[in-house]
Amino acid sequence: MATTHGTSLRRWLMSLPPLEWTVQRLRELLIGSLKCGPIPQHIAFVMDGNRRYARNHKLETVEGHHLGFEALARVLEVCYKSGVRVVTIYAFSIENFKRSRWEVDALMDMAKTKLVQMSQHGELFDRYGASVRILGDRSLVREDVIREVDRAVDMTAHNEQAVLNVCFPYTSREEITHSIRETVRDFSRAPEKPRHTKRPFSESHIQRNIRSRQLSSVTEEDRPRRASMTFTRDDGTNINSDAESTEISDQDFLDSASTLQPASSQTSHSTSPILNPTSTTTALASSLSPHSAQHLLDPETLTEAHLTKNTYTAAAPPLDLLIRTSGVYRLSDFMLWQCHEHTELRFLDCLWPEFDLWTFLPVLVEWQWRQRRERSGKGAEAGGVDTAIKVA
Amino acid sequence: MVGVRQQAAFHSDRDANGRPLSASEREKLLKPYLPAAPKTQATAQPQQNGKQAKLFTHKPRVRPAIRHAIHYLLFTIIHTVFSVYIRVRQVYHAVVDRVLAILYYHHRTPELIKRDVKNLSKVPQHLSVILQLPPEGGKKDRLETLVNDACEVAAWSACAGVPMLSIYERTGRAYAMHRIDVKAKANGVAGILKSSLPHLHRRIERNLISYYGATSPLKPTVSLRAPHLPSYSPPHSPEPSSNGTTESSRPHITILLISASDGRQTLVDLTRTLASMAQDQKLQPADISAELIDAEISESVMGEPDLLICFGDRVVLDGYPPWQVRLTEIYGVQDHVGGVEYHVFLRGLYRFAKAEMRFGR
């Protein structure tokens, strides 16, 4: 490690117990007092600048990544202690696979050792009530790393107080594509209708009952005028004879449907759309596109919410703040879908390994300040916004 | 945050004597820095012992109260100090802005703008700006201001040699003829709404004339486009190329007008189409790839801009099309309150070219 004279002196000073204790208290105090105001519920970090930091300090690239990881630990501590619920970090982009093979392998190894360490300290995570989730395309990661990932995720899955989203091999375009694909899949599949527990009445029985009643009414009423109404009676018998065949064909259809959708139970499956009031919309849809299979959702009902539901961050609250370090003013394919609305983007000039409470604090306080001002100004603004929406 | 010694231990995963750490040793190192364990068992216990235990267990009341008071006090102090700081910063930035606005002013002269961008190593091939509809109740007509801003930005871009400009405005009102409804007319803002593309084109053209002069052979040609609307580029016939300059030698700028409905909504529309195709068995969900979406989106809306300039006081995308901003350089001036100003535009271009901006020319 490159230790210049100044840093080693500082290091020595900081390791003095009383000073260390004071700094520690001070931090706790600051974090505690931050909690008095509004706190962003979801923060995303782009941890950029590890390599440049390593280059500037004449370290190895991997060492830079290690320092970056330590910075992450510091930031996470601040976030969770101050009450941020979800932290999303951009750990590894799909594009990063294009880097040198050696570096990619080293990064993967680092991820693995950190995950192994993490799973050794499960209860530490429990202290923070934090659970780990991995977002991204798992199919690109090495087998042994995936195993560690799964172990860490499973171990912390029961914690609900805070979430750490690690975007592992992730790009936002891949995420949006994934979301669109899943949504299309949802819509091309018959929806899982809320199945009631077994009901004592069978629909086919009711249907048969109705038919037989129609039949008997036809036959009974028309008996006196049999000669004039042969046609109808013929029709009636036709129905009668057809009843068996339609029954069978319905059954066939049911079978084919149930092979498509094994979860459906035959008794509650509607054989006729008219008899089932809940299926009116699907009947409408199928009448609009006659050759499509029954019970598909109408694509026109698809909204943003469906797509949002299928993104990786569906469970997280909306993104409040996105911080990118190292003076790069791009999103670089991160959280495009999530941050394009009201998220405040902050681009900082410091490199990620240098990022700590003292650089994070001004950002957080400014966010709080703005939030408080907006909240106080909201009452006055609400009217204007309302009319603007109406006009639009 | 852990102390320096512990940090070093974690970094090398070894203790002071150089032995590798075991899991339990690592935990011991961390113990003092952890928050208190969640008190789920602690609260459950005393109730078993009944009243007597309750009498003797000490329930801390004073200390948390004091701590809370101190926190609140500190919070107030931080925010007071911070609001002073931010006011000072705002004033400072406002002064810088004013100075820059005086130093760099275009004086409606294309040559000056050209000279400003002359030293830049690169100019964005596709520039995008976010304009905001000014809040209601201002002195001027809101839409008029917006259209003016759009015209100005268009003229600067044309002078700076940007071939493609996209203007984002959330509501899309300045140009969205097809989105007018009766309510808007009733509200009395229909004056400019009637206009749509031809009107805006006329305005931009007039503004360019004020920059270049009516007959300048260098005056760029403009074509105006909005997604799902046909491109509007009137024939430049009135002045046939008699004086030797052919049409191709004149610079051309394409202006694209986008609104919030070209953002997520477009992706939703695409998904709808794909979903109905999948329902008709014309497409397998597995066929959907990023390339397919990219091709569709860039064809129906636009490609990726190189530079995005926000004229607000902070960087918020405000519904800007998400798919396209992937690698876009995003520029915004901190604490900028002046709206659409030339020096912001120029600073954006400087940032994009990674050039230092010096005071004076």
Give chain B's largest Cα–Cα span: 108
Model pLDDT, residue B279: 87
Check if B44 contacts A (Cβ < 8 Å): no
Total domains in the fold of chain B: 2
- Is there a contact between A70 and B276 if contact means CB atoms under 8 Å apart? no
A32 & A157 share domain: yes
Q: How far is B63 from chain A (nearest CA, A)?
A: 14
CATH number for B256:
3.40.1180.10
B44 & B122 share domain: no
Does A264 fall in a domain? yes
Which of A115-129, A137-151, B149-163, B183-197 has the largest mean confidence? B149-163
Q: Are B331 and A337 in contact (CB under 8 A)?
A: no
B326 & B206 share domain: yes
A148 & A262 share domain: no
CATH number for A73:
3.40.1180.10
Cα–Cα distance, A361 to A34 (Å, whole number): 9
Check if A376 contacts B (Cβ < 8 Å): no
Residues in chain B closer than 8 A to A292 (CB atoms): 279-280
Residue numbers of the domain that contains A162: 26-170+313-378
B30 & B138 share domain: no
Does A196 fall in a domain? no
A160 & A261 share domain: no
Residues 101-140 of chain A whose Cβ lies under 8 A from any Cβ of chain B: 117, 120-121, 124, 126-129
B17 & B166 share domain: no
- Is there a contact between A336 and B316 if contact means CB atoms under 8 Å apart? no
Residues 313-332 of chain B whose Cβ lies under 8 A from any Cβ of chain A: 314-323, 325-331
What angle in degrees, to the nearest 10, is found between the helix axes of A172-188 and B264-279? Answer: 40
Nearest Cα residue in chain B from A161: B38
Of B3, B30, B171, the CB nearest to A15: B3
pLDDT digits (tens, 9 = 90+) for B236-271: 544 444 444 445 567 888 888 888 888 888 899 999
B127 & B219 share domain: yes
Does A178 fall in a domain? no
A42 & A103 share domain: yes
Backbone angles phi, psi at B308, to 5 degrees: -120, 125
Backbone angles phi, psi at A46, to 5 degrees: -105, 115
B229 & B161 share domain: yes
Residues 301-340 of chain A whose Cβ lies under 8 A from any Cβ of chain B: 302-304, 306-307, 329-333, 336-337, 339-340
Does A383 fall in a domain? no
Question: Is residue A48 flagged as an active site residue?
Answer: yes
A249 & A352 share domain: no
Cα–Cα distance, B249 to A349 (Å, whole number): 42
A247 & A118 share domain: no
Does A385 fall in a domain? no
A71 & A118 share domain: yes
Other Cβ atoms closer than 10 A to A7: 12
A55 & A162 share domain: yes
The residues with which A233 forms a beta bridge, in sequence order, are: none
Check if A365 contacts B (Cβ < 8 Å): yes
Residue numbers of the domain that contains B21: 4-56
Model pLDDT, residue B189: 38
Check if A185 contacts B (Cβ < 8 Å): yes
B148 & B16 share domain: no
B43: helix, coil or strand? helix
B196 & B123 share domain: yes
Of A14, A176, A345, the CB nearest to B316: A345
- Is there a contact between A391 and B3 if contact means CB atoms under 8 Å apart? no
State pTM to two decimals: 0.74
| Of B191, B209, B212, residue with least CA distance to B147 | B191
B46 & B118 share domain: no
B40 & B121 share domain: no
A164 & A51 share domain: yes
- Is there a contact between B317 and A303 if contact means CB atoms under 8 Å apart? no
B185 & B313 share domain: yes
Other Cβ atoms closer than 10 A to B294: 17
Does B114 fall in a domain? yes
Last residue of a domain, one of A218, A249, A271: A271
A232 & A149 share domain: no
A128 & A78 share domain: yes
Other Cβ atoms closer than 10 A to B280: 14
- Is there a contact between A184 and B288 if contact means CB atoms under 8 Å apart? yes
Total domains in the fold of chain A: 2
A47 & A130 share domain: yes
B210 & B306 share domain: yes
The residues with which B126 forms a beta bridge, in sequence order, are: B164
Given a cut of 80, whether residue B228 has pLDDT beyond it is: no
Please classify residue B27 by burial: count the beta carbons closer than 10 Å to its beta carbon, then call 0-12 exposed, 13-18 middle and 19+ buried. middle
Tens of each residue's pLDDT in chain A, 392 residues = 444 566 778 878 877 888 888 888 888 888 888 888 899 999 999 988 888 999 999 988 888 888 888 888 888 888 988 889 999 998 888 888 888 888 888 888 888 888 887 777 777 777 788 888 888 888 888 888 888 888 888 888 888 888 989 888 888 999 999 999 999 888 887 666 555 566 777 788 888 888 888 877 765 555 554 444 444 444 444 444 444 444 444 444 444 444 444 443 444 444 444 444 444 444 444 444 444 445 677 888 888 888 888 889 888 889 999 999 888 888 888 989 988 778 889 999 899 998 888 889 999 999 999 888 888 876 554 444 444 444 43
Residues in chain B closer than 8 A to A129 (CB atoms): 38
Does B8 fall in a domain? yes
Does A1 fall in a domain? no
Cα–Cα distance, A78 to A40 (Å, whole number): 12
Give the type of residue at A168.
F
Q: Are B263 and B320 in contact (CB under 8 A)?
A: yes
Does A7 fall in a domain? no
Nearest Cα residue in chain A from B171: A392
Of B11, B78, B276, the CB nearest to A365: B78
Does A353 fall in a domain? yes
Cα–Cα distance, A41 to A23 (Å, whole number): 26
Backbone angles phi, psi at B227, to 5 degrees: -55, 140
